[in-house]
Chains A and B, each alone.
Chain A
């Protein structure tokens, strides 16, 4: 595929598989082995089931606020699968599928949403930054990582995510502008899931598409069917190849839909119609991929059932590992602000511990 063939001003969307799981663009269809296809499907299942379990734990009062990814699995898994192990991912906060593909352990993900900073302590060989809550601020980090790659003459690339609402802030602009100027090997994926909490995409910008914003930065921009795992993979792979060739950044607008709430604190029935949600359910990325795999005879009912049990067990047992066992120790709150704890923090920690140990008065 060529980015030039998909002018975002013409709203030409890159697709490979239609919503019924039929390949409509055979030229660009990637060559995956059956094992690869089943691995992708399993990861989608893991992501979906993880969301469902976390939502259920949250309702039972066993988990805290949670931001589900339901409906966006293909956007995340397809794009992240185009990376090599040594490439970087700079996430926003709704990137469960990308985390799973790029090696973030399930335990870290649970710990994070359970309210413990150790969730963001990635294993040494996992190049995924922690969740960034302030919208789009992380895009600049992704640009900077890419700029450093250029300076160090390293060939790895950076994949970063934001949402449709994330394109409105100034930091989005600065990140893409710097990336364009310095030819950062950075791929910006906008997960256009149609809503920024309650505000619809149409109210974020007068731009016809989000991908067309790339034109202003002198970089390629493309709209991709975000519920088509093949299209997301191929577009991201092409962007990564360009980046590795030294041709700089790419902006990908993944058109998708958040089938669940923004977070567990949100009631989406207040701002969108059931009919709209039902329509998008017919485009469910997992359903579509599953139909494709079934039609090809790659996925059998038995394997599917077995996988569903397997991922559920994996999730349940990981949650059991941390539930009730992941409280932060008082020292940990103080220990990681600087490499060496300054006297003021030593003192505040000591005062609090003295208080805990039986109301000893401060000695000053």
Chain B
């Protein structure tokens, strides 16, 4: 039987897979139950598993996360949805003050096997607060893991792993590619490792690190520069934090060049951290300055301006050429 599905369906399959295997997995959030989520990621869960295991909550992100802490302490494995990353900030206090700290605070007595899912990123012509990409804020928090898939295959495998992980995970789903393409993926159970990056494409001339929806744009750019006989190595970070530094550093030692492509604002970002890692660990191998191609340090524009913001495959291709010809 074929299982050619998009990323939203892959998320849904992962949730069903885990709810079938483990009674402790509980899925809730705003519009998550009856409606199946505004993006339909939780569709059919309530019908399959009942209202006690998949349900709607009042409209309050802090309590969605705050109650999940209590549930996890009391033996359940909550997987909560925040409707958009731009609405995660009311829950920020719970995340930075408790989710990330409970294990350390109690020296391992209380742990939080929980997942906070949130669609993130721009490019869907949405209202304000529906397009942002603030993963760096969360990656900065000790005790939290931040995971971002870039394909339906990764979304399913990483989400299954995240739900089984003993630590709390912020799972950010690039909504621009929720339905952008389908992929034939295993219908059954599989895990992908948290904390490991994936070399999407091997190459010799430059290392490109990206994650989420940008990976696809990077791949388009890589096809463009192939015509100029430039062969980049493409790394999909998959886990933002804790970051797989080794894969990045080993690649840069081979290529001598690195470009980070992200849609988040350029300064104080995940890309900034990668530049820092490369400077520390591969300085003598560098043949060009480590470079970030990113969103501007501006507020994400409303739809009539968003075409300027996210780096396009053309801009990525041009930047690759600049670095290779440095």
Contact = CB atoms under 8 A, between A and B. Distances in A.
Contacts of A151: 26, 52-53, 71, 76
Given A145-B71, A147-B71, A343 B107 contact: no
Interface stretch (B54-62, B199-207, B301-309): B54-62
B75 A148 contact: yes
Contacts of A121: 106-109
Nearest to B74: A148
Interface in B89-112: 90, 93-94, 97-98, 102-111
A174 B109 contact: no
Given A152-B74, A337-B142, A344-B242, A118 B69 contact: no
A137 B58 contact: no
B66 A137 contact: yes
A332 B97 contact: no
A178 B104 contact: no
Interface residues of A, number: 45
A333 B167 CA distance: 17
A317 to B, nearest CB: 23
B70 A141 contact: yes
Contacts of A129: 73, 110
Central interface residue in A137, A143, A174, by most chain B CB within 10 Å: A174
Q: How large is the interface on B (under 10, 10 to 19, 20 to 34, 35 or more residues)?
A: 35 or more
A141 B103 CA distance: 14
A121 B108 CA distance: 7
Interface in A82-98: 88, 90
A161 to B, nearest CB: 15
B218 interface: no
Given A117-B105, A336-B104, A337-B104, A145 B70 contact: yes
Interface in A295-341: 332, 336-339
B67 A140 contact: yes
B313 interface: no
B66 A337 contact: no
A144 B65 CA distance: 9
Contacts of B26: 151
A88 B71 CA distance: 12
Contact of A174 (B63, B97, B242, B281): B63
Contact of A171 (B93, B166, B243): B93
A148 B68 CA distance: 9
B66 A117 contact: no
Contact of B107 (A120, A140, A339, A345): A120
Contacts of B105: 117, 120, 130
Contacts of B167: 338-339
A340 to B, nearest CB: 8
B78 to A, nearest CB: 8
A148 B71 contact: yes
B103 A338 contact: yes
A49 interface: no
Nearest to B60: A174
B74 A337 contact: no
Nearest to B239: A342
Given A151-B52, A338-B143, A137 B70 contact: no
A326 to B, nearest CB: 13
Nearest to B111: A339
Given A338-B145, A344-B243, A142 B70 contact: yes
11 contacts: A120-B106, A137-B97, A137-B98, A144-B68, A145-B70, A148-B74, A148-B76, A174-B66, A338-B242, A339-B166, A344-B243
Interface of B: 26, 52-53, 57-58, 60, 62-63, 65-76, 78, 90, 93-94, 97-98, 102-111, 142-143, 145, 166-167, 195, 242-243, 245-246, 280-281
Interface of A: 88, 90, 117-118, 120-122, 129-130, 132, 134, 137-152, 158, 170-171, 174-175, 177-178, 181, 332, 336-339, 342-345, 364
Minimum-distance CB pairs A-B, first 10:
A144-B70, A140-B66, A144-B67, A342-B242, A174-B63, A148-B74, A145-B70, A141-B70, A121-B107, A339-B166
